[in-house]
Amino acid sequence: MIRTVKAAVLAIAPLAISTSSSKRGLCYVPSSKYPQDDKIWTDTPGSDLSWYYNYQSEPSSSYKNSDMEFVPMLWGASDSDTGTPFLDSVKAQINGGANISYVLGFNEPDGTAATGGSAVPAELAASTWIAQIEPLKELGVKLGAPAVTGAPNGFTWLQDFFTACDGGCTPDFIPVHWYGNFEGMASHVGQVMGTYPNMTVWVTEWGFPNQKLEATQEYYNMSSEWFDRMENITHYSYFGAFRSDVSNVGPNSALLTQNGKLTDIGSWYLGGAAMHNVPKGDSVRMARFAGWSLVVLATGVYMVL
């Protein structure tokens, strides 16, 4: 494992930067204050983004007619759930002609509500998966395993989940979340690949929060380049599709400035050139968000570290 990870990191250095990629998607964070920002991801000429998710089972109204493929998510589960609303919704979308190739399992089920997790016990996640997600396999939909946090207990949670599934959960790919430096991420992804060699990897949230602008850009360059080159990382979506003054991962991580313009990272992410729009934070807000607290979304879904 360690050898694999080192080799993967060392392989970075000599290769040229590619700014365009078919693996990129939008991790959609709606802004109730600036709904016009939604269009940036689809209307910027040459945008690379080919898919999106919004932490929910139904597509977002802004993207109903877009070229981005929607990836439904079953965000969480509770003991009081009845019926199979997620399964029914995805089937109805497919029957209505939507191209649903993939779905995503639970969002940070090992994390508590205080950090944006869905806090689903592994046994409940397993029974919910078997009832609502596994049946999609026979419709040809590829299944994304629960997306645990990057913390060590994420691995424990997944192990408990597969034990509780008792062979009844067969995800095709495994989503990864990571907030931290590049070496830590490469090592973490290496550990995921080593633990679950039968699944491809999607990096569905990642970033290096609260760094200086140049360090953030360097990190973005290294990680996106690495994802592009790793054959078994098939999809990735950066956590930052919001304005810098409302960012809970530091202003320099955001893909938009406080004025709603693409930052350099934002433009690179879409396959374009540097814009030289420098992101700024909001000093009041930054103080309020200090300590890794949350962005509360208009939808009532909490975003996620």
Ligand X SMILES: *[C@@H]1O[C@H](CO)[C@@H](O)[C@H](O)[C@H]1NC(C)=O
* Closest distance of CB 94 from ligand X, Å: 11
Q: How much is the CA Rg of the chain, to the nearest whole Å?
A: 18
Residue placing its CB nearer to ligand X in the complex, 273 or 284: 273
* Closest distance of CB 171 from ligand X, Å: 6
Strands (E), the chain: 25-27, 51-53, 69-70, 102-104, 142-144, 173-179, 200-207, 233-236
Residue placing its CB nearer to ligand X in the complex, 10 or 290: 10
- Report how far apart, in Å, the C-alpha atoms of 81 and of each of 86, 91, 132, 168 are: 11, 19, 11, 20
33: which DSSP letter? S
- Report how far apart, in Å, the C-alpha atoms of 122 and of each of 78, 109, 147, 189, 266 are: 12, 8, 12, 22, 36
* Closest distance of CB 18 from ligand X, Å: 8
Contact 303, 29 (CB under 8 A): yes
Residue placing its CB nearer to ligand X in the complex, 22 or 78: 22
Residues at the interface with ligand X (CB under 6 A): 17, 19, 69, 99, 101, 162, 169-172, 196, 198-200, 214, 217-218, 221, 231-232, 268, 274
* Closest distance of CB 159 from ligand X, Å: 9
* Closest distance of CB 114 from ligand X, Å: 29
Residue placing its CB nearer to ligand X in the complex, 161 or 302: 161
* Closest distance of CB 178 from ligand X, Å: 18
* Closest distance of CB 75 from ligand X, Å: 21
CA dihedral 50, 56, 60, 65 (to 10 degrees): 50
Residue placing its CB nearer to ligand X in the complex, 60 or 248: 60
Give the phi and the psi of residue 250 in degrees, each rounded to 5: 90, 145
Taking the C-alpha atoms of residue 90 and residue 83, their distance in angstroms, rounded to an integer, is 14
Burial class (CB in 10 A: 0-12, 13-18, 19+), 137: middle
Taking the C-alpha atoms of residue 253 and residue 269, their distance in angstroms, rounded to an integer, is 12
Residue placing its CB nearer to ligand X in the complex, 79 or 231: 231
Residue placing its CB nearer to ligand X in the complex, 160 or 218: 218
302: which DSSP letter? B
